[in-house]
């Protein structure tokens, strides 16, 4: 089981605005903000960004589960409006570990993000 994820970012305020906006439609909120680190989750923080070290994007893909098509679209749109770059518009897609409906974007530091409907 995955316990948590932490990404290093270049600008904590910029990344905080991006993830606040993108994660809100998925039901996530900030639970932690301390020592150059911010954490989001549903019931507790499981996803963190930090500005303690230099970012190093390019490691792979971070995928967030959505409850439906509307949430996928809203999270992707909010992410793009908040400084993210679209990689693939929301739509039916099949890839390893993904649900049947996904959208892809890069966050302001270049980390690749997927928003997907969890597969059964």
* Complete domains list, the chain, with CATH: 5-117 (3.10.180.10)
Tens digit of each residue's pLDDT (9 = 90 or more) over 85-116: 999 999 987 665 566 899 999 999 999 999 99
Determine the pLDDT at residue 97. 59
What is the reported pTM? 0.85
Tens digit of each residue's pLDDT (9 = 90 or more) over 45-71: 999 999 999 888 776 688 999 999 999
How far, in Å, are 36, 103, 107, 115 from residue 15 at the CA level?
A: 12, 19, 8, 17
For the chain, what is the largest distance between any 2 Cα atoms, rounded to a whole number of angstroms? Answer: 40
Strand-strand pairing, 47-50 and 5-8: parallel
């Amino acid at each position: 089981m995955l316990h948590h994820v932490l990404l290093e970012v270049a600008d904590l305020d910029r990344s905080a605005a991006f993830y606040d906006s993108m994660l809100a439609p998925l039901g996530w909120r900030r639970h932690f903000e301390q020592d150059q680190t911010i954490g989001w989750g549903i019931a507790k923080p499981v996803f963190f960004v930090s500005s303690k070290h230099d970012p190093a994007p390019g490691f792979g893909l971070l995928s967030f589960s959505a409850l439906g098509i509307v949430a996928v679209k809203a999270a992707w749109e909010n992410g793009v409006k908040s400084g993210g770059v679209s990689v693939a518009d929301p739509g039916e897609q099949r890839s390893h570990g993904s649900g049947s409906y996904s959208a892809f974007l890069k966050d302001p530091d270049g980390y690749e993000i997927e928003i997907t409907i969890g597969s059964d």
